[in-house]
Each structure stands twice: as C-alpha cells, then as structure tokens.
Structure 1
Amino acid sequence: MSTDPSRPNIVLILADNLGWGELGCYGGGALRGAATPNIDRLASQGLLLHNFNVESDCVPTRSALMTGRHPIRTGCRQSVPPGFPQGLTPWERTLAEELRETAGYQTAHHGKWHLGDIEGRYPSDRGFDEWYGIPRTTDETQFTSSPGFSPEIAELPYIMQGRTGEPSTNVCVYDLEQRRLIDETLVRKSKDWLARATATGRPFFLYHPLVHLHFPTLPHGDFAGTTGHGDFADSMAEMDHRVGELLAFLDEQNGDEDVRNNTVVIFASDNGPEFREPYRGTAGPWTGTYHTAMEGSLRVPFIIRWPGRVPAGITSNELVHVTDIFTTLLHVAGTVLPTDRPIDGVNQLPFFLNPTGVKSPRDGFLFYIKKELVAIKWRDWKLHFIWSPAVNESKGKLESPYLFNVVRDPKEESNVMAVNTWVLQPILRLRAAFLRSLAGDPAPRDELKEDWDL
C-alpha cells in the first residue's frame, strides 16, 4: 500500500444506469423501495456533488472517464453489437496507462469494460495489470434465453479475464444466471486484489465498474424478495451492500487507518437512469433518462472521500464533468497530462479539497449524442439545438434553439430564449472554441467506427 500522500491509492467505483434520484443521500433510498446506508455513509464522509455531468450512455461516458476526452474525439460515441468495431483505438491513452507508466501505480479492473472486445483493446491491453468482468454490456445476458437465438448466427456473451502480456480468456457464458451472481464475484475479485496490492507498498488504482443497476436488473438470490418492492429495489439493496463490502474491506486492511486515510474513493454513475419498464429508474427532480439531453441524463451521483483532505459532509452544486476525473486523478497522483492531444477534463482538485472556498474551474461543456451536437450547458443555463425530452421521441432540430435556466427551471419546461438572448454569446463562444479544437485534434480517424452508425 502507499502511505505517501503525494501518491495516494485510488478506488473508482462506477455504477451502471444509476439515476440521480435513486440513493438515499440524493433523496431516494427508502422512497425508492430500498435504503442505501453504505453509500449514504460514504457521502457523509466526503463531498457529494449535485451537478456532476456525464455523457449520453455507457460507452461515451466510459471513454470520457478513461481518456479525459469527449467521445466525439475518441470515436466511442455509442454502444454497438458484438462483432462490430468498437472501443478505444491504441492511439488513445487511458487513465490506467498514465497512472501505471508515469506514476508507478498497480492497476486492476473488475467489472464492465465496454471499451473494446478484441485483443489489443481489453483492459489488460490498456493499462490494467489484470482484469475480470464483461467486455461489453449486460443486456446480452438475455441472448441465450431468447427465442431463435443460436451461437451459430450471433456471438455468445462471456465473462472474461486477463493479465498484461497474456491473451484474455473466456471464463463462462454470461447468461441470466450469471447476471444475478456477477456483482458478488466482482467484489470477491477486488478484495483479493486489494489484499495483494496493499502488501506491496506501492500505490494502487482499482477501477470497479459495477454491473448494477443495468437491465435486466436482477438481484442475487440472497437479496431476491428482501425489500418487498420487486427486482429493481432488491438490486439496489444489493448494489449498496456490494459497495459496503468493498469499502469495509478497504478500511480494515492492515488493521489500522493507513490504507483508508491515504486512499481516494470515488463513487459515481455512468449515465442517467434506465427508461425501459420494468427496470425504469428515476433522476429525482430532473427530467429525462439516458439517451436524452435532459438534465436527468446529464446529472448523476458523485461522491468523493479522501480523509483529512476532502472535507466530510459537504454538498455542492458546482459544475463538474466526467472528463475532469481523468485530469484530476492525474493531479492527485502527482503526474502530468498528455501533451500531444487536447484534453477536455479540467483539474478539480483545488475545488475538491476546499469545496466551500473554491469554485469549480469549469463553466460549461458541449453535449453530443452520437455525432450530433444536441445541447450546450453553461453555468446555470442549457441551450438545446435538438429537442429530445424522451428516448426515441426526438422532435428534431430546432430552428430557434430552446434555452432554459436549470436553477429556476430544473425540469426544463419554460423556454426563456426570447428574454435572455445575451446568453447566446458565451455559449456560442464555447462552441466555437471547442470546434476549433476538434478540427485540429490529431487523433487518427477510425474509418470503420466513423461509418458505423446505428
């Protein structure tokens, strides 16, 4: 383990399709059918953000998290079926690669990857010493029980594992039975790795992307029926328990406070809530689900704990974006950013360390869905170029964009463009600067990914 405060350990836990309004510390919990005491306790020990923003769905957010770059740059703009080109190109640099190669961190990935499913693009090829989990996503667990499915015509989904320098291998078919078991297995894998990592004296980075609450949202047998509110609530109770197991193991290492006090723990979600019944989630006061440009898609839970450094029991509405995590964690580790490409993430470390005295350095960001610039968020304002309040119900491109003040109008119901046209100036300057940067981005164009558009 590292006890050097200049190179703290890092544990990054990412929930899947967890909406802003699900957790008790965000106004949900028991109101959603399942208390979340472990994650609520984590929130009381650190900083909770109300205005942490992500990309439109799983792949774009995970790309932004790992590279600090918007997915419109990396080509990771959407989920695609197995057998088609997907994932980060070798040219991109991941957070794990930077931490391992420039700061000497041990690295592990246990969970959902969704950034490459062929040799050269698995986690063990992209900076992680070892990995265990799923290369793509969880709706594939329904394949083998679907009428007409045959492995002769569509690829079987697998749970996989691998180590750096070795080929990644299949562990077992990822079916509905394994769907119920996988989060338990992932925690066991992470606990085993943490025990080994803390014994080395070197700093470690554990990336633990949970499978819950992605559909089909099915709980482990130990949790099925425990809440009385169905599979979704049972799964939320399990998710909270798994996070609690991981934190308890981390906090108890070596029987003292050294590991806990020198470990940055981040808990967040990859995108807004699921829109499909019976697994539909909630974004609390915000409108929308993932695959939209509404606040319910952009805003998700985010908690950071770093004992003695990040103040405990603080909440903030300062603007933070998922790309900022890449940049901030490299500053936490005391290493430098890549200089050969534009990095969209900004350093939030001064704000995290003093959230009541320092403002976020971020003013806004552009929000794409696939190839389309759909909206721009700037301070308290949101400009929509394409109106997409619900998945698959887009009203199309707007001749005159809609403008909302998301503090006075969190549900984005009242277009106030006519009396606030001044807001166009800073927002369009932000767009112009980003498009200039995009035009000069040295990232090589991946022909297949550019042309593949669902």
Structure 2
Amino acid sequence: MKKRILSMLATGLVALSAHAAEKPNVVLMLADNLGYGDLSCYNGGSRGGITTPNIDQLASEGMRFTQFLCEPGCTPSRAGLLTGQYSIRSGMSLIIVPGASGGLQPDDVTLGTTMKSAGYNTTYVGKWHLGPEAQSQPQNQGFDQWLVGFKGTTDSVLYSESLKTAGAPDGLQKAAATYITEAKKPGEAAKVVQIYDREYRRQIESDIADAAVGYIKEQADKEDPFFLMVGWTRPHFPNDAHPDFVGKSNAGPYGDSIVELDARTGQVLDAIDEAGIKNNTIVIWLSDNGATVTGTVPAEVGGGSNGPFRGELGDGYEGSIRTAGMIRWPGKIAPSVNNEMVSVHDFLPTLANIVGEELPDDRPYDGFDQTDWLLGKQVKSNRQHLLTFVGDRLIAVRWNQFRIYPIEYHSSSTNPVLGGYLGTIRETAGMPRIYDINADPGELMDIAVSGNGWVLGIYSKLIKEYKATLKDHPNPPAPNMTKF
C-alpha cells in the first residue's frame, strides 16, 4: 500500500512537472519613450546611423505590430500593461513625479500576480514607475524579486543635479535623490543599492541586461516556467550612453542610446538562445509611448521620431500613443507584419488565457484577449477602439481609422516649440475634431464637417459604454497637478 501511494505521488509529480513544462516562459521587454520611427525595422533604415539589428531580427521572427497603441506617458502605459485597465481606473493617468504618492494597490490584479498564480517564477528588472510606496512595488505585486530597480523616472537625475548645482540645502538634495534599489524576496522592503546620478546613468542599461541574462541562465533548467519583465531606461532623456556606445550612431546622444538599447536587447535574446529555450519562450518587446520630440534637454531636441504621426509623449495624438511593438513565439505565432489594432491593455487577458489563468470578474477590464488572432485562428484583432485619458480628462477616442478629439492640444503659450505634457489644452466649441488616420497620418484635416458626422454616433456610444462601467466600479480621483 505504501509503495502504491509513493508511486501515485511520483506519477502526480511527473504529471505536474510535464504540465509546467508545457507552459511557455515569457520575457517582456519595455523600452522607455521610443518613437514609432526610431527602429530601423519601422523606418526602413532611413534614420542615418541609427541601426537596430537585434530588435529587427526579433521582429522578423515574430509578429510586428504596425498599429500598437498605448497610453501617453510612462506611468499610464505601465499601469495599463500591468492591470489590463485604462490607467484612470487605478488613478495613474498622469506620470508619477518625485514626491507624489499613488500607485498600484494591494488588491490590484497585475501581470505579476496572474503569472504567479499560474505557477510561474517571476522577476522584474529595471524601471518600475508605478508608485513609490512598498505596496506598489514589484515584490508586492506578484514578482518574486526586483533587481536593478528604481521607482521613478530617469529625468529625476537632472533634477537632483540642478539642486546640487544651485547649492540647495543638503536635506533637500537628499530628499530629491534617485536611488537604485533591489528586493530579493516577495513582501520585503526594497533596499537601496546605490545612488542613480548622471554617472550611473551611463551604466544602468548594462546592469539591467546582466541581471536579466543571469536570471534566464538560472531559470532555464528549472521545472517551473518563468516570467521576466525588463524595464529598459532608453531612450528616455538624459541619454548618457555607456562609453562603449558613445558616437556609435552618428546621430547624437539619442541615437547612441537607441544603439545601446538594441545591443542590450541582443544580450537578452542571446541568453534565451544559449539556454536552449527559444522555442518555448514568448518574447514581447514594446515601447511605453511615443518619443519626446520637443520638451527635452537641449542636446536632444528633435532626437526622437514618431514617424509620420503628429504628437509626442504626453499629448493625445497618434504619435504619442502609436509606437513599436512585437511578439515572438516560434511555431505558434507566424512571422508577419500586421496592421490590426492591439493595445498595451491586451497583454494581461491574452497571457492569462495562454497560461490557463482565469482573471477575477470583480472589476472591468479594458484589454481584449488576442490569443486567437495571434495564433492565426482569426484574421481580425478583437480591438476596434481605444479611449485615451490624461489626468482627469478624456482627450481622445480612437475607433477603426478615425481619431476623435473632444479637446485640442496646442504648443505652450510661452514657448510655441514645446508640446506634449508641456503643451496646453484648448476647449472646442462643442464639436469634436475628427481625423482619418489612414488617409491623414499627420492629422492635418478635420473631417467632422465633411460628411463624416456619423462617426460621432460611434464616439458617443463608446463613451456611454465606458461610463456605464463606472456605476459599479467608480474610478478613484484622477490626478491633476494644476487643480487642487
């Protein structure tokens, strides 16, 4: 009898191990402020000396999205990616700035908690930007550890440097400093490893890549599948590239930063290949939003490219929310270039389906399960629309090829060059603006009064459907940095 029980237990363990092996590993890499036109696989190599052979190779081996949509900022897009919801539902529809609170909450369902529930070993490496408090950090949002981490945004190193140059009090300088942290166990407080200043800015991408590569090597022979998220810092300004990449692009600091981003991505892809797990690993590579074209440090103005699209980081135009994205799963997802609409919110429900994890039904989700489309079982994406919020405002609605705006973004009243978050919002006279993004990618011709008023019926319907979800699930107060 004892032998029979042991035999049954052994059989069960083998079955569990085999079941775990069937689940694919997942590596999700997220670039920071990379525009639609910045990679050579998107611009046809037209950006001078900026070449991205490693990312281009990944794109050629998987499905490259030409209509990947996100939210108009680092925090909002990351919130949408992790929760499968519009960022306004979690109170993160503006970038979390130094000194601000807010972020993911203990009851949030995230990619981390979902993959952990599905039996995955989980690790986050790099930039987070989803809340400074411990409850909001990766090690408390489903990830087993957080390596080479920092809570906020890279341009905070400029703020710290300016305080030092201005001779600000030591206490203020210390409070404003940015730190690299790590947490090796779920639930523990992240520990400071070192200061993140302009000098370390040159080193951080190398350290992120090394940590990701080390984790892949460590997990490759383990029974449980793994989920690795990599939050790159490039090409977010300031683009102080590693010395090995300075001058490599012939396109200034921004170009050098992209060349380094490509090389670091190559290190991660090589680790997957060398571990012999390529065929059982889903690799997702995305940018969190479009490039900053105007509102950067002087040496980088005009460095980023959002391709043919109007707008940049922080506003509601196509160039802000349409950027690079691709997914590779050998033998499952056919290599292709696909112009169907997909958004950053879709990855939570899609991955949950792939790994066999059911999402709780006690909250609304704005993401669509795209599994059948990705696997070629259906031709059309499940997404036809996307709402875009900045702070407490609905600023754009996308439906099929139409972009509809209840307000207008303009350059700064004090500086006509600056756009994005540094621009201004102007009310319309009650009639939304409508553009056909297929015929007019630069959004130059408002077609609201040229026989396309019927689109406003769809616009009203989509807003009504969204507002209906708020009855049982009201949003927390949306952030606004200018109204108190």
Q: TM-score, normalised by structure 2?
A: 0.88
Compute the displacement of 1:82 (Å): 2.6
- Whole-Å Cα distance in 2 between the matches of residues 74 and 89 of structure 1? 8
Conservation of the 8 A alpha-carbon contact between 1:2 and 1:203 = no
- Tell me: CA distance 1:420–1:113, structure 2 relative to 1, closer, same or farther (3 Å): same
What is residue 52 of structure 2 aligned with on the other side?
36
Moved more, 280-289 or 56-65: 280-289
SS in 1 for 2:202: helix
The answer for the alignment partner of 2:321 in structure 1 is: 298
2:363 corresponds in structure 1 to 341
1:104 corresponds to which letter in structure 2? Answer: G
Give the fraction of aligned pairs with identical amino acids, expressed as a percent. Answer: 35
The residue type equivalent to 1:96 in the other structure is: G
Structure 2: which 5+ residue stretches go unaligned? 1-16, 411-418
Q: Assess, with a 3 A threshold, how the Cα gap between structure 1 residues 395 and 94 changes in structure 2: closer, same or farther.
A: closer
Distance change (3 Å), C-alpha of 1:263 and 1:83 = same
1:398 correspondence with 2:413: no
Q: Over residues 265-302 of structure 1, what are the superposed CA-to-partner deviations in whole Å (9 max), with x where a residue is unaligned?
A: 00000011013243231111111111111110110100
1:386 to 390, 399, 407: 407
Alignment of 1:4-153 (within 5 A): 6-27=22-43, 29=45, 31-101=47-117, 103-132=118-147, 133-146=149-162, 147-148=165-166, 149-153=168-172
Kept in 1: contact 2:306–2:319 (CA 8 A): yes
Of 410, 429, 433 in structure 1, the residue corresponding to residue 441 of structure 2 is 410
Q: Distance in 2 between matches of 1:232 and 1:144?
A: 21
Aligned length, in residue pairs: 444
| Cα root mean square deviation, aligned | 1.9
8 A contact 1:20–1:299 mirrored in 2: yes
Report the CA distance between 1:144 and its aligned residue.
3.7
Report whether the alignment pairs 1:221 with 2:243: yes
Aligned match for 2:381, one of 336, 356, 360? 360
Q: Does structure 2 conserve the Cα–Cα contact (< 8 Å) formed by 1:2 and 1:204?
A: no
**Pick aligned residue for 1:433 from 431, 451, 465:** 465
Of the structure 1 ranges 286-295 and 137-146, higher mean CA displacement relative to structure 2 is found in: 137-146
SS in 2 for 1:66: helix
Query: What amino acid is aligned across from residue 410 of structure 1 in structure 2?
Result: P
Which structure is larger by alpha-carbon Rg, 1 or 2? 2
Match of 1:421 in 2: 453
User: Contact 1:381/1:406 (CA < 8 Å) preserved in 2?
Assistant: yes
1:3, 1:262 within 8 Å by CA — same for their partners in 2?
Answer: no
- Structure 2 vs 1, CA of residues 89 and 412 (structure 1 numbering), >3 Å: closer, same or farther? same
Q: Write out per-residue CA displacement over residues 30-80 of structure 1, whole angstroms, 9 at most, x where no aligned residue.
A: 624311000000010010111110111000000000000101110011123
Q: Which moved more, 1:48-57 or 1:150-159?
A: 150-159
In structure 2, do the counterparts of structure 1 residues 306 and 385 end up closer, same or farther at CA, with 3 Å as the change threshold?
A: same
Shift of 1:239: 0.5
User: CA, structure 1 residues 323+151, in 2 after alignment: closer, same or farther (shift >3 Å)?
Assistant: farther
Task: Provide the rounded CA distance (Å) in 2 between the counterparts of 1:2 and 1:299.
Answer: 39
Match of 2:278 among 238, 260, 269: 260
Query: CA 1:271/1:83 → structure 2, altered by over 3 Å: closer, same or farther?
Result: same
Q: Secondary structure, in 3 states, of the residue corresponding to 1:435? A: helix
Q: Per-residue deviation at 1:235?
A: 0.9
CA 1:109–1:32 in 2, change beyond 3 Å: closer, same or farther? farther
SS across alignment from 2:50: coil
Contact 2:160 2:176 in 1 (8 A): no
TM-score (norm. length: structure 1): 0.94
1:201/1:372 Cα in 2 relative to 1: closer, same or farther (>3 Å)? same
